[in-house]
């Protein structure tokens, strides 16, 4: 309690800005897969399911290597994570500009995820989370909104670049730009005082965990839910641009719709994080998941610019709020000593869900020649996620009743 009387270190907001920027570039590449999908498929004769596996390659490698980086971050800190991620992201994009086969396409995106996205996101989010004792949800929401901002701006610029200079030159310009922006930011990464203290031998015997359930059980519940909510959100992220161009819209129009979705997502991540501070992380996660689920099915049904953009704004806000809520849930339910590993594990299952959703969206399209089943699959995954979250909430309520403790500290962020 004494620690809460002090102000949070001002450098925490520098870290928020740094992580916002680096994660914007990492997630921007993830989002731009949807814009590259049809040009690459047309040039090489690949199916959409095959091409969408590029998204899966990033997701899978980010999942697997993210756990490794989470362990190393808890043990040694994240001081050089930003620098390494910046270099590898640029190299991966340079290699993608020279690709000649599907195997190379997968390999270079796998590299981007393994040493780029996985180092630039989850370990640095965990770093940011423990800079703040006051309103950690807001700080995490602002940092995480960089991902949504990147997924708005980068795919839109990629769409313009492909139409002007082709996909190879666009990859090349991305490589140069990423190195110029991300590398300087990487040198500003610092570890939070709380995380440094948690690694000292004296702190090993002192538990700062005050959550009602064990850290292991909490992470398991979150991880299971995350698989399905990320299946739900991945389908529009990967397949909105192809869906719209199939309906006769131009690539620029389709990329602009994705831009609108992700800009709404910037506000969703910030306000989703703040909502966690106000009503609690788990209730906020449930609210945001409900909004994501009820909106995703309608992408394959609506026609007309006004309705499409309204749906993009609605889905973008709630899907991004889900992302913030997941991270704040993990932040509030584990101690600083295990923060990197806990976020890495939940992110592992999130990346698996994202990869599965991106692939299934393309696979179901290839089977049926339409996106109706793809978006139906996304909605079904969202419903399963909501059921799991309701069961988690009931488990916490039961634990409160059994122990006779006040549940406010785990059903809310306070």
CA-angle at 300, arms to 299 and 301, nearest 5°? 90
d(CA 134, CA 375): 39
Q: Nearest Cα to 126, choosing from 116, 135, 136?
A: 136
Q: How many helices (H) and strands (E) does the chain have?
A: 16, 0
pLDDT 10s digits, 125-139: 988 988 988 888 899
Q: Are 251 and 107 in contact (CB under 8 A)?
A: no
Tell me how far apart the alpha carbons of residues 166 and 161 are, in angstroms, rounded to a whole number. 7
Provide the token pair at 66.
């993210």
pLDDT at 54: 84
Q: Which CATH architecture best describes the domain 10-198+210-411? A: Up-down Bundle (1.20)
**For residues 263-288, average pLDDT:** 92
195, 336 Cβ separation under 8 angstroms:
yes
CB 27 within 8 A of CB 354: no
Among 100, 97, 115, 144, which Cα is nearest to 262's?
Answer: 144
Tell me the per-residue pLDDT of 364-381, one tens digit each, with 9 for 90 and over. 998 988 899 999 999 999
d(CA 45, CA 40) in angstroms, rounded, equals 8
What is d(CA 37, CA 22) in angstroms, rounded to the nearest whole number? Answer: 24
Q: How would residue 2 be classed by pLDDT, with cut points 50, 70 and 90?
A: very low
Whether 338 contacts 203, CB under 8 Å: no
- The rounded distance, in Å, linking the Cα atoms of 157 and 259 is 10
Task: Out of 40-44, 127-131, 311-315, 410-414, pick the least confident.
Answer: 410-414
Note the pLDDT of residue 99.
Answer: 95
Q: Is the pLDDT of residue 171 over 80?
A: yes
Residue 200 exposure: Cα atoms within 13 Å on the Cβ side: 8
pLDDT at 411: 53
What are the Cα distances from residue 233, in Å, to 153, 268, 291, 357? 18, 14, 11, 8
Average pLDDT over residues 215-241: 91
Average pLDDT over residues 154-162: 90
* Per-residue pLDDT tens digits for 237-268: 888 888 888 888 887 788 788 889 889 989 99
- Which among 321, 317, 316, 341 has a CA at the least distance from the CA of 331? 341
Both structure tokens of 88:
């590898």
- Where is 99: in which H helix or E strand? none
Check whether 166 has a pLDDT greater than 80.
yes
Q: How far apart are CA 217 and CA 209, in angstroms?
A: 13
Under DSSP, the state recorded for 113 is: I
Question: If you write DSSP's letter for every residue of 50-97 in order, what string do you get?
Answer: HHHHHHHHHHHHHHHHHHHHHHHHHHH-STTHHHHHHHHHHHHHHHHT
Percent of the chain having pLDDT more than 90?
Answer: 46
Give the whole-angstrom CA distance, residue 309 versus residue 28: 20
Helix 215-246 crosses helix 281-296 at what angle (to 10 degrees)? 20
Cβ(141)–Cβ(16) below 8 Å: no
* Rounded average pLDDT over 111-136: 89
What is the maximal distance between C-alpha atoms in the chain?
65
pLDDT recorded at residue 322: 93
pLDDT of residue 81: 95
Summarised one tens digit per residue, pLDDT across range 231-243 is 999 999 888 888 8
Determine the Cα–Cα distance for residues 43 and 40; give it in Å rounded to an integer: 5
Q: How far is CA 62 from the centre of its chain?
A: 11
Mean pLDDT, the chain, as a whole number? 87
Global pTM reads 0.77
Poorest-pLDDT segment among 32-36, 215-219, 342-346, 407-411: 407-411
Q: What are the φ and ψ backbone dihedral angles of 214, each rounded to 5 degrees?
A: -65, 155
* 391 pLDDT above the threshold of 90: yes
User: Tokens standing for 288?
Assistant: 């945001």
pLDDT greater than 50 at residue 206: no
């Amino acid at each position: 309690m004494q620690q809460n009387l002090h102000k949070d270190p001002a450098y925490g907001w520098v870290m928020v800005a740094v992580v916002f920027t680096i994660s914007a570039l990492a997630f921007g590449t993830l989002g731009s897969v949807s814009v590259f999908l049809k040009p690459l498929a047309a040039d090489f004769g690949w199916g959409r399911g095959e091409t969408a596996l590029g998204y899966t390659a990033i997701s899978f490698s980010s999942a697997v290597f993210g756990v490794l980086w989470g362990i190393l971050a808890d043990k040694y800190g994240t001081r050089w994570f930003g620098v390494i991620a910046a270099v590898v992201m640029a190299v991966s994009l340079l290699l993608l500009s020279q690709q000649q086969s599907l195997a190379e396409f997968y390999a270079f995106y796998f590299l981007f995820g393994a040493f780029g996205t996985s180092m630039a996101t989850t370990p640095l989010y965990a770093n940011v989370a423990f800079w703040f004792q006051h309103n950690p949800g807001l700080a995490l929401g602002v940092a995480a909104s960089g991902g949504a901002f990147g997924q708005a701006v980068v795919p839109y610029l990629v769409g313009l670049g492909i139409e002007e200079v082709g996909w190879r030159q666009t990859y090349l310009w991305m490589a140069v730009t990423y190195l110029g922006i991300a590398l300087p930011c990487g040198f500003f990464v610092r570890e939070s005082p709380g995380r440094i203290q948690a690694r000292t031998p004296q702190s090993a015997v002192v538990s700062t965990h005050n959550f009602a359930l064990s850290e292991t059980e909490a992470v398991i519940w979150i991880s299971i839910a995350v698989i399905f909510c990320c299946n739900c959100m991945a389908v529009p992220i990967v397949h909105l641009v192809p869906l719209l161009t199939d309906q006769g819209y131009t690539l620029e129009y389709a990329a602009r719709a994705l831009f609108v979705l992700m800009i709404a997502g910037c506000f969703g991540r910030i306000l989703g994080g703040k909502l966690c501070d106000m009503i609690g992380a788990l209730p906020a996660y449930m609210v945001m998941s409900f909004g994501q689920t009820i909106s995703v099915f309608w992408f394959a049904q609506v026609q007309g610019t006004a309705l499409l953009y309204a749906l993009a704004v609605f889905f973008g806000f709630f899907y991004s709020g889900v992302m913030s809520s997941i991270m704040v849930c993990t932040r509030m339910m584990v101690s600083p000593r295990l923060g990197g590993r806990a976020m890495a594990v939940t992110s592992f299952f999130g990346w698996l869900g994202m990869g599965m959703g991106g692939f299934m969206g393309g696979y179901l399209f290839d089977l049926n020649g339409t996106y109706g089943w793809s978006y139906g699959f996304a909605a079904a995954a969202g419903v399963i996620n909501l059921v799991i979250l309701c069961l988690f909430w009931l488990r916490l309520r039961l634990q409160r009743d059994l122990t006779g403790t006040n549940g406010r500290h785990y059903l809310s962020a306070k």
